[in-house]
Amino acid sequence: MSVPTLVIGLTNKRTLIEPALLRPGRFEVQIEVPPPRTVPQRISILKVHMGSMYQAGRVLVRDAPEGTAAARILERKGSDGILSYDELLDLLAVECDGFSGAALAGVARAAASRALERSVWDFAGSISSGEAVNEGGSIADCLVTQQDFEGAIEDVMESSSG
């Protein structure tokens, strides 16, 4: 007994799909989903990809959830010059004009990677310099900053342009 199966394919480059796949009985129904055109659309997509980082207190924003690594850093160092979560989303959505949903997801991933890389280097540097681990930060304090997001935007722009 056969079980009905529905197969869905996604691509950002529709012109690269092999024409044989588009014949009747195969991927004959095509639905184009355009890239997000407005700031609110981009904010919605960014929230999906940044929400868990924010809730876990891994994004350095002025309104970080209490009891998280970000909140502890803010208590120690203050919040001067640090945006709120909504302000950061607004800024990123404006800077990411023309990005696809996949590119917006890439910005969130790349920013997290930048933060992790920085934390590893900082932690390794504190150990090699002989600093007491509990005096400085630890790798558990890895936070994604506005600068990480801005660098990630540049990374995504570079990777999509060539």
List of domains in the chain:
35-161 (1.10.8.60)
CA distances from 42 to 48, 55, 105, 121 (A): 10, 19, 10, 32
CB 79 within 8 A of CB 124: no
CA distances from 128 to 25, 51, 100, 133 (A): 63, 35, 42, 11
Q: How far apart are CA 64 and CA 123, in angstroms?
A: 23
pLDDT per position as a tens digit, 34-86? 899 999 999 999 999 999 999 999 999 999 999 999 999 999 999 999 999 99
What is the value of pTM for the model shown? 0.79
Q: How far apart are CA 100 and CA 46, in angstroms?
A: 11
